[in-house]
Amino acid sequence: MLQRIQSLFLFIALVAAVVVHFFPLASYLGEIYYLKFYIYGLRDMAPDPSIPVNNLLVAPLYILNGIAAVLILITLISYKKRIRQLKILRIAILLSIVNLILIFFFYSPKIESVTGARADFLSEAGIYFPLIMLLFL
């Protein structure tokens, strides 16, 4: 299964697509809120959690990442059919790009406007995994 370097790249992309679920994408620190933004929702790190944003708002991120991970797995398994592999891979790349666009240009400004907190992406490890996934795809 891992005879080619492309298969190794796909495996690394699959690992990045799975590991992103365990690390926060960004942290939001404001006067009232201290939130961690995961791909599946927001967590309030304060002792009395009162999140002003519904976690169902970020459900498309979770779904898009899950679909991309399944497509990467299908691509990894179908290593003998290269044309089919390329077609599926293009869809996974598109989903990964849409996922990054949603994170940076839709959800982050939305969360910032609702909570009044400022996003900090660079201090969290989770934001690098979608980028690694896109790079290795």
Q: Give the tokens for residue 37.
A: 């933004």
For helices 59-77 and 5-19, what crossing angle results, to 10°? 160
Burial 69-95 (b: 16+ CB within 10 A, else e): bebbbebbeeeeeeeebeebbeebbeb
Global pTM reads: 0.86
User: How many residues are present in the chain?
Assistant: 137
Determine how β-strand 34-38 pairs with β-strand 26-29: antiparallel
Q: Give the tokens for residue 127.
A: 């934001």
Residues 25-79 have pLDDT tens digits of 998 888 877 888 889 888 887 776 666 667 778 889 999 999 999 999 999 888 7
Residues 73-99 have pLDDT tens digits of 999 888 788 889 889 999 999 999 999
